[in-house]
Every structure is written in C-alpha cells, then in structure tokens.
Structure 1
Amino acid sequence: MPGAGKTTLARALEQAGLVRLCPDEEMFRRYGHYGRDFPRGQFRVREAPVLKSVADDLHRLIASGRDVVVDHGFWTPEDRAEWRNNILKAGGSPILVYLPVPHEVRWNRIRERNAKSLVDPNSIEFSESDLLRFAGRFHAPTNSEPHVLYAGNPDLVLAKMHALRPEAPGDQL
C-alpha cells in the first residue's frame, strides 16, 4: 500500500548493492505529475507500458546475475504470481516482502509526501479517500504466498535473500 515504506526499504536495499527498479519514478520521468501533467483517469493506461519496460529490465538484470529490488506495490495475488513467474523464468529467486502498516501511519506519511509531489517522483499526490479506496483493492499475501513480513529491519530481508543463495549472486526481490 502507498505509504507503507516500500521506497524506504528499497533504497536501503539499493545501498546494500541491489539494483532498484521503480515504476512510479519511470511514470514520472515519462509522463510528469499524475493529475497535473496527465489526467488522473489515465494512470493505469500509461502505467501498462512502464510495467512492461520494468519487467524487461528486471529480466535482463536477473539474467546477468544482478540482485534486484522492484519498488512496487504488487496489490493482487495475480500480479505477484505474474512477476514471480517472470523472475523464475529469468533464473532468479523471488522474495515477496509484505509491509503491514496501519492506515493512520500510511496517511501521515502520504500527507508529508503530498507536500513534495512537484519535486519527488515517488510522491504521487492523492487524498485520504484515495488511500481508503486503494485499501479496498489491495490483497495482502496469504500463507499460500511465501513472503517475508517486514518489521523495519532491511538486514533481515538481506539475510533471507542471502540464505537462498549462500555462494552465488542472482537472487531478486
């Protein structure tokens, strides 16, 4: 969910040597500000080619042996399964990280980000009613989807990643 801390975690993993791919930043680069430079109703239409491009980059990076973190929400089991299968096809080992954060915390973070929306490509401005609507579309991972429950320590995510491949690079998040 927006405001859960995905980008903060992804940036910490990037500092640890992973390549970070961020569809929101690519959306900003290609189209500008959501709701200002392009209409709100066009987000999903414009996002589709961006996600395809990010998926292609992910596949190429994994195939070359790089560790990658995709800074994206993956809101449904179907989306997560599609990305997981693509990672597996490229020879990677996917790790799904779930960041369960209460609405109040997410909304406070988003209010702060809204103030930076004109300069920060990760700060897509939206309202609390948008956030509540998004919550209705988000499906948290269940026990049938292997995942790491994130509690604020990026080192635990890195340890999980390294446990999957003790001697060789190539695991992806």
Structure 2
Amino acid sequence: MSAPRAVLMSGMPGSGKTKLAQALADCGLARLCPDEEMFRRYGQYGVDFPRGQFRVRERPVLSDIAVELRELLSSGRDAVVDHGFWTPEERGEWRSHVTQAGGIPLLVYLPVPHAVRWSRIQERNAHAHTDANAISFSEEDLLRFAGRFFPPGDDEPHMVYDGHPETVLSALGYGDTPVSAV
C-alpha cells in the first residue's frame, strides 16, 4: 500500500483553487476547505463578523483542519486542502503536517494574472452572502493581498498548475482517471 498523498495549493484568491480541489474531490480525494468552515462557524466576512477579525478567527479553524488532515492521512486517505498557502513558512508547516502523518505532500502553484483573478472575484462577490467560498472584497484588497503573497521558489518542490486537473492526478499517481471539465 502506498503512502497517502495530500495536495497543498499556493495561489491567490481567484486563481482556481476551489475548482481544482472540487475536481480532485470528485476523483476521491477528501477536500478540506478552511473558508467553508469559517463561513459555517462565523457567517459572512465583513457582515456577520468584522473585517479586521478574519485572521484571528481563521487561526483555530486552520488548527482544526490540520488535525483533520493528519487523521485522514493517518487512516490512508488522500486529501486536498482548498487553501492558498501564501508564504514559504505556512507551506513548510503544512508539509510537516502531511509528512508527520505518513503522507506525501504535493504543492501545486496556481499562477493566474491579476485581471483574470479580479474578473473571477467580481463574479464571486455577487454570491458572497450564500457561497462560503465567495468572501467579498475589492480590487484594492486583491492588490494589497498580492504584496503578502510569495509564490513557491526553487527551494520548494512544487508543480505549476496547467489548468488541467488530470495533470495533478497524474502527479499523484492516479493515472488515467477521467475528470469532469473544470
């Protein structure tokens, strides 16, 4: 039996992380999504809790997701974490969660131009009151976020997402698993 695998993603809002995670979940990976858990626990960002409270409220959610990820991997289940992992430190911490549970991490970087990300965010903003993955924010916010995002460097093993979930599945060893269009 091979070691369980965990897909960790690195990408800004609007880069396609959730669509990729959902496609991988459709193929059997357990999908863990901190944004959905945030929505479930606290409601809509900026409406049900103040905008400045996101990181404070996210901390225990991420801790709980890390525990769930370790439990899934320890039980032999493959997983994908639907989260952006913006810094090398954060990615290193989550790689450790994976390896300590006996899993093999696969970091997938989703580089998407600002104009495409902003277009996607505008569409999502219209559904922010009902969609847990549609945290509403402005283009100014998105530009500010870019200053806090650090793409994986040469010292971090990763693959660059080509827009095809099949490529990620192949890297995980799933072979010719069909995936619905993303």
TM-score (norm 1): 0.94
- Unpaired runs of 5+ residues, structure 2, are 1-11, 176-182
Of 34, 55, 63, 1:44 maps to 55
The answer on 1:151 being equivalent to 2:151 is no
More strand by share: 2
Query: Aligned equivalents of 2:85 and 2:65: distance in 1?
Result: 13
Of 111, 124, 133, 2:144 maps to 133
Identical amino acids, percent of aligned pairs: 65
- SS of the residue 2:105 aligns to: coil
Aligned to 2:100: 89
The answer on 1:71 being equivalent to 2:82 is yes
Aligned to 2:7: none
Of 17, 34, 39, 1:23 maps to 34
- Unpaired runs of 5+ residues, structure 1, are 167-173
- SS of the residue 2:31 aligns to: strand
Give the letter aligned to residue 112 of structure 2.
V
- Equivalent residue pairs, number: 164
- SS of the residue 1:9 aligns to: helix
Query: Aligned equivalents of 1:105 and 1:155: distance in 2?
Result: 22
Give the letter aligned to residue 56 of structure 1.
V
More helix by share: 1
Task: Report Cα offsets for 1:69-122 as digits up to 9, x if no partner.
Answer: 000000000000000011000000000000000000000000000000011000
- SS of the residue 1:130 aligns to: helix
CA displacement at 1:162 relative to structure 2: 1.0
Give the letter aligned to residue 55 of structure 2.
R
Aligned to 1:169: none
Give the letter aligned to residue 147 of structure 1.
H
TM-score (norm 2): 0.89
Query: Aligned equivalents of 1:81 and 1:16: distance in 2?
Result: 26
